Structure 1
């Protein structure tokens, strides 16, 4: 019979793929190779090995994700928020903000690929539009009850 096998190989820490003498601190988000502290490159939320991190498409994809989230991810919600803020000053924008807020809320789908979000912006636009509408209606009713014209 042979001696029982020991699991010393499984207990060893992994080494960097490019620097075998260095202990690995993580795996590349693109290729899965181990990397050491000296060669880790961070782009956005992901960390890459030196060879993958230097590729132009890696940083480009991170920038596209940020651009998608800022501009293209449910623009109706963003417009609802802007119109809601404007509706506090300009009466016409308040009902527009409410309509855009409802449309923005209907578009929220977190299971979509990529996820469509901005629920908070749509709700804020809806609430601000409602506050603007109530405020302007109260102002008009107050002016009419005073016997004053709506416009000076």
Structure 2
């Protein structure tokens, strides 16, 4: 009985390049799985990619960790409680200012703007809830 990894290796070795059927595949694209010959395989951070996936990778916008965290906090504010959303608003405003000054990658703008909107919503809901609680306390007196 053959070991499963041997069967997989022989399949890759027998495979042909998707773009050059006359050439044997030497690897597969990490993202889409396309068989690639040595001429087609392109490296991105040590991983083999086909040309189409490399183009997608190259044009993916850089996003700062702050923009990602702000968006995560905004979503957490809606799901777990409103206070993280207020923090998201503050972080998003700071990140948008950093983007305007060129200190953070501009690819984070959509995430920071979404975090700001979620922060506004969480803040409005928090203020509304506090107002309703205050009204209830006043009406009980």
- Taking structure 2 as the reference length, the TM-score comes to 0.53
Q: Trace 1:64-75 onto structure 2 (pairs within 5 A).
A: 73-75=63-65
Q: CA deviation at 1:75?
A: 1.1
C-alpha separation in 2, matches of 1:141 and 1:54 = 61
Shift in alpha-carbon separation, 1:122–1:37, aligned structure 2, 3 A: farther
Q: Trace 1:6-85 onto structure 2 (pairs within 5 A).
A: 36-39=20-23, 50-53=37-40, 57-58=43-44, 60=46, 73-85=63-75
Look at both structures and tell me which one has the larger radius of gyration over its CA atoms: 1
Aligned length: 106
1:87 and 1:133 in contact (8 A); partners too: no
What RMSD, in angstroms, separates the aligned Cα atoms of the two structures?
4.1
Shift in alpha-carbon separation, 1:134–1:147, aligned structure 2, 3 A: same
Q: Which runs of 5+ in 1 are unaligned?
A: 1-34
Per residue, is there more helix in 1 or in 2? 2
Which piece of structure 1 moves more, 82-91 or 120-129? Answer: 82-91
C-alpha separation in 2, matches of 1:143 and 1:53 = 65
Shift in alpha-carbon separation, 1:54–1:124, aligned structure 2, 3 A: closer
Q: Which runs of 5+ in 2 are unaligned?
A: 1-18, 50-55
C-alpha separation in 1, matches of 2:119 and 2:48 = 34
